[in-house]
């Protein structure tokens, strides 16, 4: 029970990486509040997790709205019974395709969610986190936090920003008692990834097979791989780790394979 009674908030928690992280944290004894913009998906996530009402709660939240972020923190403190111990800023928006064909509204949506929304939600959480003796902020990055990729310029820019946030906030919030780390997976078979493929007109099954074959380990990470990394980084076992981007990428970032 490495996360026993740790009050945890997970944005983008209704599916994919967020849902897997919630499941892993609950299994380790945490109390979890799932936040997402999709209310029906939150209801389904709660049904899938089968957790006691006191251990699992949900809240609708648009992380691009400062008032929503402030409300989320207030709801979390009231519902979980104290300051937030772990805040997982996981909500994000996919994007694929050549920059020359990208609509300005689509570009702004990615930047607003992946950069501005992450900053606003972290900002709102700080006052709560700094009152916890074991505070940890986890940001969801990507392989595109450290590498570039053709026809992913907008998404890559947004995820490079996450790597910068991890370093800067670790320096800024360390003296306040808050550790800040990132988790950077490569392609993971989630609804998020499938949506990105669909937007780019790519056939999903073939793309996943090719992706697995391109990695040194011969497979792509699962949502559970991401969740286990999150458990470790939020636990006391990682109490000396901050400002770090943990690559969960089956070797993709090691070099050309």
Residues 194-211 have pLDDT tens digits of 777 777 788 988 888 999
Residue matched to tokens 């209704």:
14
Instruction: Please give the angle made by the CA atoms of 66, 71 and 73, to the nearest 5 degrees.
Output: 100
Q: What residues have CB less than 8 Å from 191, skipping those under 6 apart?
A: 15, 16
pLDDT in tens, the chain (257 residues): 889 999 999 999 999 999 999 999 999 999 999 999 999 999 999 999 999 878 999 999 999 999 999 999 999 999 999 999 999 999 999 888 899 999 999 999 999 999 999 999 999 999 999 999 999 999 999 999 999 999 899 999 999 999 999 999 999 999 999 999 999 999 898 877 777 777 778 898 888 899 999 999 999 999 999 999 999 999 999 999 999 999 999 999 999 88
Q: How far is CA 220 from CA 142, 250, 252, in A?
A: 13, 6, 9
Catalytic residue, candidates 87, 155, 192, 226: 155
Q: Give the pairing of strands 31-36 and 86-89.
A: unpaired
Q: Which of 45, 33, 38 is nearest to 71 (CA)?
A: 33
Return d(Cα 189, Cα 40) in angstroms, integer. Answer: 21
The tens digit of pLDDT for each residue in 167-197 reads 999 999 999 999 999 999 998 988 777 777 7
Backbone φ and ψ for 59, nearest 5 degrees, come out as -155, 135
Q: Are 225 and 190 in contact (CB under 8 A)?
A: no
Share of the chain above pLDDT 90, in %: 85
Q: Which helix (H) or strand (E) holds 87?
A: strand 86-89
- pTM for the model stands at 0.95
Task: Look at residue 193 in the predicted model and tell me its pLDDT.
Answer: 77
DSSP at 144? G
155 is a catalytic site residue: yes
**Domain boundaries, given as residue ranges, for the chain:** 7-188+222-247
State whether the Cα torsion 205-207-210-215 is positive or negative.
negative
Structure tokens at 255: 């070099």
Alpha-carbon distances of 119 from 24, 168, 169, rounded to whole Å: 25, 12, 10
Q: What does the alpha-carbon distance between residue 77 and residue 75 come to, in Å, rounded to a whole number? A: 6
What dotted CATH number matches 7-188+222-247? 3.40.50.720
């Amino acid at each position: 029970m490495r996360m026993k009674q740790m009050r945890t908030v997970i944005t983008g928690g209704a599916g994919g990486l967020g849902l897997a992280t919630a499941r892993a944290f609950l299994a380790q004894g945490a109390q979890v509040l799932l936040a997402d913009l999709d209310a029906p998906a939150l209801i389904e996530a709660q049904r899938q997790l089968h957790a006691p009402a006191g251990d699992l709660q949900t809240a609708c939240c648009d992380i691009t709205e400062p008032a929503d972020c402030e409300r989320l923190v207030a709801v979390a403190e009231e519902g979980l019974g104290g300051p937030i111990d772990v805040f997982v800023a996981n909500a994000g928006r996919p994007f694929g395709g050549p920059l020359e064909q990208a609509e300005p509204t689509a570009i702004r949506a990615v930047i607003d969610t992946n950069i501005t929304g992450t900053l606003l939600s972290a900002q709102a959480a700080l006052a709560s986190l700094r009152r916890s003796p074991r505070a940890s902020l986890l940001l969801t990055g990507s392989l595109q936090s450290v590498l570039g990729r053709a026809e992913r310029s907008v998404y890559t820019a947004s995820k490079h920003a996450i790597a910068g946030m991890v370093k800067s906030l670790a320096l800024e919030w360390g003296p306040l008692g808050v550790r800040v780390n990132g988790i950077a997976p490569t392609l993971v078979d989630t609804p998020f990834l499938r949506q990105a493929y669909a937007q780019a007109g790519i056939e999903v099954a073939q793309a996943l097979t090719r992706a697995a074959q391109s990695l040194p380990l011969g497979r792509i990470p699962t949502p559970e791989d991401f969740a286990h990394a999150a458990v470790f980084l939020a636990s006391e076992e990682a109490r000396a780790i901050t400002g770090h981007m943990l690559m969960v990428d089956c070797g993709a970032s090691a070099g050309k394979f």
